[in-house]
Structure 1
């Protein structure tokens, strides 16, 4: 499904018909402007109080190897540039993007500007994010290896 093509949405769904949308490591493949456009389309198709659970690589995670993996232009295929990362979000940019589209945003897991990791209690029954502190076996114990910035963007 093309997140920024309104016809792919209208071919599959009625406006106001969805309770939840799960997007794990999708929005980093869109520019900021495309991300806003996609969020606005999602908003149209969600029911009131519906939400997007969105996870992206975290631009504030203080690990050089991780940042090299998630940087703009990679990973992905040179044959398919759209498959590579087009933005590295932090909690401020991702929140701003969804708020611009009309959502209220709740931070779930994220790093702040100083690289400190924050996690709020969340339930996987509302959408499992594999690349998370909660579910990824690489992130168990005291060491984070591959966290995500995770938000719930709620339609009000």
Structure 2
């Protein structure tokens, strides 16, 4: 009789949010996106079903982000995916852009102080496609600043900072949207 292996669903850089009960929540100190030695101690190649990264990739340079995407690809099962959310460079709000900009808006202890890049849907898509993923845009702004949203299934990972879940974004006015993608390994 074949024993079915439990699915591994992983949140990287979980912070204070626990929007995904039943998922394995990790912090940078225990699982570093660009250091494979931290992955090898916990997982084997092609063992992870899903990875959720909410506002993590902007803390990596483009090159580090690509390295991290390649590493995730190595550890994901076929048909596994990364749901990735980052600040959106095309969101047309000066206050928002000041908060999420590279280096952040002020003190070294501000969460955005370690931002190294602000992605738009083109840069984030290209990075994950270069690593071998097929990318599906879930929520994003285009070059004109127009917001687009495609239906997405929260059972595959909740992104709090989204149009769908962030109370700041309910109603007609977006206040703090994210660029959200699913990057699927085929």
TM-score in terms of structure 2 length:
0.80
Greater relative CO, 1 or 2 (CA 8 Å, sep 6+): 1
1:39 aligns with 2:88: no
1:42-61 correspondence to structure 2 within 5 Å: 42-61=72-91
Rounded Cα–Cα distance in structure 2 between residues aligned with 1:57 and 1:130: 13
Q: Say which one has the larger Rg.
A: 2
1:109 counterpart residue number:
139
Relative to 1, partners in 2 of residues 1:75 and 1:12: Cα closer, same or farther, differing over 3 Å? farther
1:96 aligns with 2:126: yes
Note the residue ranges of structure 2 that are not aligned, 5 or more in a row. Answer: 1-30
Relative to 1, partners in 2 of residues 1:80 and 1:33: Cα closer, same or farther, differing over 3 Å? farther
1:4-153 correspondence to structure 2 within 5 Å: 4-74=34-104, 78=108, 84-153=114-183
Relative to 1, partners in 2 of residues 1:34 and 1:43: Cα closer, same or farther, differing over 3 Å? same
Question: Contact 1:75/1:84 (CA < 8 Å) preserved in 2?
Answer: no
Tell me which protein shows more helix as a share of its residues.
1
Name the SS of the counterpart of 1:52 in structure 2: strand
TM-score in terms of structure 1 length:
0.96
Deviations 1:26-68 (A, max 9, x none): 0000000000000000000000000000000000000000000
